Amino acid sequence: MRWLKHNLYIVTISILFVASIILDNLDPNNIISKIIMTLLTLFAGFHIFKKAFMDLRYKIIGIDLLVTIAVVAAFIIGDLFEAAAVTYLFTLGHVLEKKSLEKTRSALSALIDLKPTLARVIDKNKETMVELNQLKPKDIILVKPGEKIPTDGVIIEGSVMIDEQMMTGESMPVYKEVNDQVFGATLLQSGYIKIEVTKVGNDTRLSKIIHMVEEAQDKKAHTQKFMEVFSKYYTPFVVLFAIIIYGLTLEIRLAITMLVIACPGALVISTPVSFVAGIGNAARKGILFKGGDSIENLSKGNIVFFDKTGTLTLGKPVLSEIKVYDNNQNHLLKIAAIGESFSEHPLSLAIIEAAREKNIDIEDEPTDVEMKIGKGIIFTYNKIKYAIGNKQLLSFEIPQPIEHEIEMMEAQGMTTLIMSDSQKILGLFGIEDGIRNESVKLIRKLKKLGIKQTIMLTGDQKRVAHHISHTLGIDQYYAGLLPEDKASIIESYHKDNHTIFVGDGINDALALSTANASVAVGGMGKDIAMETADVVLLSENIGKLEDAIKISKKVKMNMIQNVVFSLFVVLFLIIGVIFRQVTMSIGMLVHEFSVLVVIVNAIRLLRYNQGGRHDKRSRTKQLHKSSSDLQKS
């Protein structure tokens, strides 16, 4: 009954259409036949006639006006069945088109459905369930296993595994602990946490993503704008062409049939429907295109420029090599980490983190700690005095073999810390900005996607840039650059190329705005880059750039398929009418069928996965497989 209620209009006109077919074959001139066909024309055509009248008021010659003229002309010549059939098929096509188009925007609906509605607020050791819109920054909320995190915040108690797939596209759960940032609508899989709310309402990450997707699906690409301008002039031309045909043949039926079959319906929607579907597909994979222009520009790119720090690399120091000249490696690392625990230098964190990863106990405290600004740190542990820092901290000459090893490590882009006691060097710590695991594979895969050159732009030293570019297989690099230098270099490539720049920081904003297409690698504290870029990778997985380019090229191909198919159908129907093989109702049927084919072809993009295939199972189902919300608590 619910289905019938929602589809009563289409059911009614369908019954009238079936009755019209039967009566037309029995006795088309019978009064009952004429009444049924007239009722069908009025019921099915009311919205068409209304739209045509509104268009005329604004001096617009659209598809609805062409159909209205054809229907009126059919009534004048007494062909009531043709009039009824044309209005019914046109209306039915619109209904099916609307339902199909809704599927292309399903990603946005899915994102909106992700939003929780309740939060468990802790106030004076009491739990209170409140509506999400009542939350305020600084509120403390409790989240239990299987629940969605209500809003953005920082963990103040607990350590958990969180499923961020629908926010970042990452398939594996992420480990979070105290002081880590969490995002609303992500799923807590195990453990419990207390969160201090940092952002609510429209300021949350999910709300911003939804806003971006809404804007992107309405933003038009150059091709789409061209098609709209084309149809603006094409439709009046069709009217003129029909008048000329009537003037030459004096056959009104031939002229009005030409009006109906030459409607550019499939052509008009051939580009926007592809872009909307592509944007929806990408959003589910943690990739945000900010409109059709973004997809179009990315698909044309043939040179990719990369920022280094935080884009190709992790953006934080990592201990990548240890040279030991006395004692064993773990013991040396333990002493170094204990000493560095009193240092505030960023490089000290790399040593401490490496010790923790190896489960080395570093709870002991050093004594007689001396910070030497610009040199390093001196401390005493177990009554032995140690020093960790650069060459300036040493009170003796470095042996030539160790000097050579330091030079070798620095040639590989490492910053070398020397650890010694009062008499000799104990070991070397090679620290570098660690390369992302995905970066090596990405550079190789870009070549297969038609990218002819990859270039790294960095403000870092030349030796570091050389090491990173050589390791990754990047074609060229520029080092020691300021933000304006990056923009100038990109500008110099514009003459014969279509440029893509990939970055992540505030200092990349100028370069992002200079490139033909720009991609921001997402994550915490990267809002400026995300606002400036055309495309946003919501996670820090740089490998998703390959997916973004693949999707953009697939959307472009889908759009071309739709345009070529639409033009072919129009040409086929025009030839059919000229040779009197296509009637008005058959023409409308084929026309509406072509519109549906274009939409269905675009819907295929929703199932297109990163590997270049079409998923048989819709990812939309995964949105609803998450554990129960707070409402079930």
User: Do 341 and 395 belong to one domain?
Assistant: yes
Range(s) of the domain holding residue 168: 118-206
Q: Mark which of 510, 525, 552 sits at the end of a domain.
A: 552
User: Do 420 and 515 belong to one domain?
Assistant: no
Q: Which of 307, 300, 298, 306 is nearest to 496 (CA)?
A: 300
Burial class of 171 by CB neighbour count within 10 A (0 to 12, 13 to 18, 19+): exposed
The answer to whether 118 and 632 are in contact (CB under 8 A) is no
Indicate which CATH number applies to the domain containing 135: 2.70.150.10
User: Do 170 and 184 belong to one domain?
Assistant: yes
Inside any domain, residue 112 = no
Residues 6+ positions from 580 with CB-CB distance below 8 Å: 254
Q: Mark which of 552, 568, 599 sits at the end of a domain.
A: 552
- Helix %, strand %, coil % for the chain, to 5? 55, 20, 25
The answer to whether 301 and 516 are in contact (CB under 8 A) is yes
Q: What is the mean pLDDT of each run of 10 residues along the chain (633 residues)?
A: 68 88 84 90 89 82 75 80 78 66 54 75 87 90 89 91 65 77 84 90 78 56 59 75 86 80 70 80 84 86 91 86 87 92 81 91 89 85 91 87 90 88 90 87 90 91 87 92 86 91 77 88 61 81 92 92 89 86 80 82 79 45 36 38
User: Do 331 and 418 belong to one domain?
Assistant: yes
Spatial distance between the Cα atoms of 400 and 411, rounded to a whole number of angstroms: 16
DSSP for 540-595 reads: S-TTHHHHHHHHHHHHHHHHHHHHHHHHHHHHHHHHHHHTT---HHHHHHHHHHHH
The answer to whether 626 and 137 are in contact (CB under 8 A) is no
Residue 530: per-residue pLDDT = 65
Inside any domain, residue 587 = no
Residues 6+ positions from 629 with CB-CB distance below 8 Å: 116, 117, 118, 147, 148
User: Do 367 and 477 belong to one domain?
Assistant: no
Residue 83: per-residue pLDDT = 80
User: Do 374 and 301 belong to one domain?
Assistant: no
The answer to whether 507 and 489 are in contact (CB under 8 A) is no
**What would the two tokens of residue 57 be?**
């008021």
**Catalytically annotated residue among 307, 504, 508, 629:** 307
Residue 578: per-residue pLDDT = 83
- Phi/psi region, residue 201 (left: phi>0; alpha: psi -120 to 50; beta: rest), is left
Inside any domain, residue 187 = yes
User: Do 332 and 413 belong to one domain?
Assistant: yes
The answer to whether 486 and 504 are in contact (CB under 8 A) is no
DSSP for 138-155 reads: T-EEEE-TTPBP-SEEEE
Residue 617: per-residue pLDDT = 43
User: Do 533 and 450 belong to one domain?
Assistant: yes
Computed on alpha carbons and rounded to an integer, the radius of gyration of the chain in Å comes to: 33
User: Do 301 and 441 belong to one domain?
Assistant: yes
Partnered with residue 126 across adjacent β-strands are 123
Burial class of 375 by CB neighbour count within 10 A (0 to 12, 13 to 18, 19+): middle
Inside any domain, residue 364 = yes
Domain count, the chain: 3
Residue 454: per-residue pLDDT = 96
Q: Is 364 a catalytic residue?
A: no
Inside any domain, residue 497 = yes
Inside any domain, residue 79 = no
Token pair 């004594």: residue: 367
Spatial distance between the Cα atoms of 57 and 54, rounded to a whole number of angstroms: 5
Residue 101: per-residue pLDDT = 52
Spatial distance between the Cα atoms of 362 and 383, rounded to a whole number of angstroms: 17
Inside any domain, residue 418 = yes
- Quick one: how far is CA 221 from the chain centroid? 16
